[in-house]
Amino acid sequence: MKRLFILFFAMYSLSVFAWEGKVTITTPNTQLLIHATEGGDLRMDYYGPRVCTDQELRDAGCALNSSALPAFGTVDMVQLPAIQIQHADGDLNLELRVKDMEIKDENDSRTYVFTMEDKLQPVSVKVFYKAYRNVDIIETWTEIYNGEKRSVTLKRYDSGHLVIRQGDVWISHLHGDWAAEAEPTMEKLSSGVKTISNTDGARNSHLDAPEVMLSLDGIPQENSGDVIGAALCWSGNFELRVNTLLKKEHHFYAGINPQASEYVLDPKQTFATPRLALTYSTEGMGGVSRTFHRWARTCGMLHRGMNTGDILLNSWEGLYFDINEERMIQMMDDIASFGGELFVMDDGWFGNKYPRRNDSSSLGDWVVDARKLPGGIKALTDAARQRGIKFGIWIEPEAVNTKSELFEKHPEWALQAKGRQLKLGRGGTQLVLDMTNPKVQDFVFNVVDELLTLYPEIAYIKWDANASIQNYGSTYMPADKQSNIYVDYHLGLLKVLERVRAKYPDIVIQDCASGGGRANYGLLPYFDEFWASDNTDALQRVYIQWGTSYFFPANAMACHINHCPYGNTGGRIIPIKFRCDVAMSGRLGIELQPKDMTEEERQQCTRCIADYKQLRNIVQNGELYRLISPYERKGVSALMYNHSGKAALFVYKVENFYNQSIPRIRLAGLNPDATYTLTEKNVRVGQRPCSLNGKRFSGRFLMEVGIEVPLREDYASRVFELDS
């Protein structure tokens, strides 16, 4: 006899009816089939296109019938566990049985909650699947409840697990380093376990990022093939694993990295794992990217990502720490004269007893350095208003330098290993504050709150994080909970961000961590954008922005025009037109000292900003089609965005050899029957638009035949608007 389950409709509707142990979880184009057997665990049968019934799957012998959340102690022990708990009495086993299922309906989604209980111990685990109605994303996560009389230890607590039919499956993820983030790395899965993980503690996307794509039918293709995309929404250490078994399955697991993080959970407490966002596309990696971008713009990012980011000048690469009032005002004059909308004062503005002259002091002392800024921040917000632009400011509130008044007063607020010498980070003095400590959380909240209370005209904050957790230990956490630090650090950070957003829902905040160290969906619900890299060399940015776009939309990606010669790439000199065109493909900004620009550079930047205003909505809210990858070594890279019958096309010459054959650019995602007019944008100062300007083509022609884009000299580039 089939066990009957009670199902509740909560939120908008509440009803009770029988569940026969099978559930089809759907998004517009995908479905996940789950079932539970009498007294058994939760089983996953299928994740893929929305094309089949449960019966068809079974009749065809295709139901995978694999544990949805493999628990240590329950099933086939050759599978790696997604969850393992040590109970108060030392028992390491879990035998989870489904008890009931609940459905929660919201406007944009339906969430299925399966509650499972251990056969022996009073521990329960809820598994959530939140399926969106308008975008093909299913978020999954768990909640673990400790009903025991004493603490239990979560030894492994993945957010989710997927079972995939074995085949020619490839895994792609973003790999990199500081100033070289987000290089797509692709490899075929072979027997054994493939692990992608991070142990920085505070940031998690410099080296290996917490997102992957799994191409199910051979070498990853941009525009074709079945691909699963997965993003762990967490800013701390993570571990993504694929276990390829000799049988017929790959098992994909994603969650918090348990290394040094066996989590002690007190009695009657619940631990919620971070969300794992999953998608399935039959349109290759491009399809997965577009789904993540759509999801980010509807719910994965703050402000639903629908704000079109302001065009800004940031003082960092133009002045580094050498700021003062006069230079700030000069920079405001310049960005206003270019047609920009926002000026951001970066590092170097604070410190009283220890003025911030370089990176070796003052973090923690968030008071204006009156020697540099005699009129304080008020004089700067006034100056910005007078020039018709907004004002933004840099902070790094989770950090402290040993040379600071804060450290003198509260040395115990820094993370530190008891009795051991401090390991010092940036500037030889930097430490990370202990975000597990509620007093530190209050301090960090107050850094933001005081700034915004004193200077309500601040419209933008750049929130940086420039150190990893090198000193593992907390003076606040008890001895038996030291292994909770990595996790509680981020839960503490999220608490602060919740408070900041509750009080300041509208201020724009950039998420930065030594460049692109915190590009992740754990933080984006609280931020408007992230700094993609400390490397602003336009050629390398073509590559970095290409990789970043695999998971993140253009309006999340801050892209700034830099100065040349450029130090990070050995003094490389790139023409201003190419630098502008590369920055225009994301959220446009400038990062240089305008005083040092040539007249041609000034004119080009002014033109670029005016033209970007016309393209901004298409770029920041459009559907991305990556056309030619810079990694394919074809001499060019091309991408485009489509939005409401318009498109923006970017073409960059990334190599230049005599007699080199440059591919024709075939466009994508257009309406084949519409006629598009091409208008060249940001035409090089002193030149005329190219021969394609003003020409009209059908969408079908542009997609099937393509255009020959004139690109002759080194660093040639073109930007076009297409209007139908």
Q: Whole-number minimum distance, CB 360 to ligand GLA, in Å?
A: 11
Q: Let me know: does 528 contact 540? Beta carbons within 8 Å.
A: no
Would you say 641 and 554 are in contact if contact means Cβ atoms under 8 Å apart?
A: yes
Size of the site for ligand GLA (CB under 6 A): 11
CB of 515 to ligand GLA, least distance (A): 5
**Range in contact with ligand GLA (rule: CB under 6 A) among 41-49, 53-61, 69-77, 509-517:** 509-517
- Least Å distance between CB 346 and ligand GLA? 5
Say how many Å lie between the first and final Cα of the chain, rounded.
61
Smallest gap from Cβ 369 to ligand GLA, in A, equals: 14
Amino acid, res. 655: E
> Does 514 sit near ligand GLA (CB under 6 A)?
yes
Task: Give the residue, chosen from 264, 512, 619, 651, that forms a contact with ligand GLA under the rule CB under 6 A.
Answer: 512
Give min distance, CB of 178 to ligand GLA, in A: 8
Kindly tell me which of 170 and 316 has the beta carbon lying closer to ligand GLA: 316
Tell me the β-bridge partners of 105. 11, 110
**Residue 531 interacting with ligand GLA (CB under 6 A):** yes
Residue 357 or residue 495: which is nearer to ligand GLA going by CB? 357
For residue 703, give both structure tokens. 């997609």
Is 466 one of the binding residues for ligand GLA (CB under 6 A)?
yes
From residue 15, how far is each of 88, 95, 131, 172 by CA, in Å?
38, 30, 19, 43
Please identify the residue of the shown chain whose CB is closest to the bound ligand GLA: 347
CB of 465 vs ligand GLA, minimal distance in Å: 9
Rounded Cα distance between 523 and 411, Å, is 27
What distance in Å separates the CA atoms of residue 601 and residue 604, rounded to the nearest whole number? 5
Contact pick of 394, 521, 551, 715 for ligand GLA (by CB under 6 A): 394
Pairing of strands 675-681, 696-698: antiparallel
Closest by CA to 434, choosing from 493, 479, 362, 483, is 493
592 makes contact with ligand GLA (CB under 6 A): no
Q: Which stretch binds ligand GLA (CB under 6 A): 105-113, 207-215, 508-516, 680-688?
A: 508-516
**Of the candidate residues 48, 425, 515, 699, the single one contacting ligand GLA (CB under 6 A):** 515
For residue 663, give the DSSP letter: P
Binding mask 267-306 for ligand GLA (x = CB under 6 A): ----------------------------------------
Q: Which of 346, 369, 398, 434 touches ligand GLA (CB under 6 A)?
A: 346
Nearer to ligand GLA, 40 or 589 (CB): 589
Q: How far apart are CA 694 and CA 691, in angstroms?
A: 8
Closer CB to ligand GLA, residue 381 or residue 514?
Answer: 514
**Binding map of ligand GLA across residues 305-324, x = CB under 6 A, - = no contact:** -----------x--------
Nearer Cβ to ligand GLA (264/368): 368
| One-letter identity of residue 61 | G
Nearest to 531 by CA among 555, 549, 552, 557: 557
C-alpha pair distances (Å), 329 with each of 323, 325, 347, 366, 391? 10, 6, 16, 21, 11
Q: Which stretch binds ligand GLA (CB under 6 A): 34-42, 193-201, 512-520, 666-674?
A: 512-520
Q: How far is the CB of 512 from ligand GLA (least distance, A)?
A: 5
Secondary structure of 261-290 as H, E, C letters: CCEEECCCCEEECCCEEEEEECEHHHHHHH
609 is a contact residue toward ligand GLA (CB under 6 A): no
Q: Shortest gap between Cβ of 293 and ligand GLA (angstroms)?
A: 24
Residue 464 in contact with ligand GLA, rule: CB under 6 A: yes
CA distances 491 to 234, 410, 484, Å, are 10, 22, 10
Cα 234 from Cα 273, distance rounded (Å): 9
At 1, list the tokens.
Answer: 């006899």
Taking Cα atoms as reference points, which of 567, 549, 568, 566 lies closest to residue 557?
A: 549
Asked whether position 234 contacts ligand GLA by CB under 6 A, the answer is no
Single out the residue of 211, 534, 537, 623 in contact with ligand GLA (rule: CB under 6 A): 534
Q: 347 or 398: whose CB is closer to ligand GLA? A: 347
Nearer to ligand GLA by C-beta: 334 or 591?
591
CB 513 within 8 A of CB 204: no
Residue pair 232/276 in contact (Cβ under 8 Å)? The answer is yes
CB-based contact 631:546 (threshold 8 Å): yes
For the chain, the residue count is 724
Q: Which CB, 305 or 318, lies closer to ligand GLA?
A: 318
Residue among 116 and 583 whose Cβ is closer to ligand GLA: 583
Show Cβ contacts of residue 215 under 8 Å, excluding neighbours closer than 6 positions: 169, 170, 171, 172, 186, 221, 225, 226, 227, 284, 285
Rg of the chain in Å (alpha carbons): 26
We find the least distance from the C-beta atom of residue 446 to ligand GLA, in angstroms, to be 21
Determine if 347 is a binding residue for ligand GLA (CB under 6 A).
yes
- Residue of 185, 340, 312, 170 whose CA lies nearest to 242: 170
- Minimum CB–partner distance for residue 175 and ligand GLA (Å): 19
Q: Does 398 bind ligand GLA (CB under 6 A)?
A: no
Q: How far is the CB of 350 from ligand GLA (least distance, A)?
A: 12
Smaller CB separation from ligand GLA, 70 or 425: 425
d(CA 362, CA 403): 6
Choice between 292 and 531, CB closer to ligand GLA? 531
- Closer by beta carbon to ligand GLA, 534 or else 680: 534
Nearer to ligand GLA, 461 or 647 (CB): 461
Closest separation in Å from C-beta 514 to ligand GLA = 5
For binding to ligand GLA (CB under 6 A), which residues are involved?
A: 316, 346-347, 394, 464, 466, 512, 514-515, 531, 534
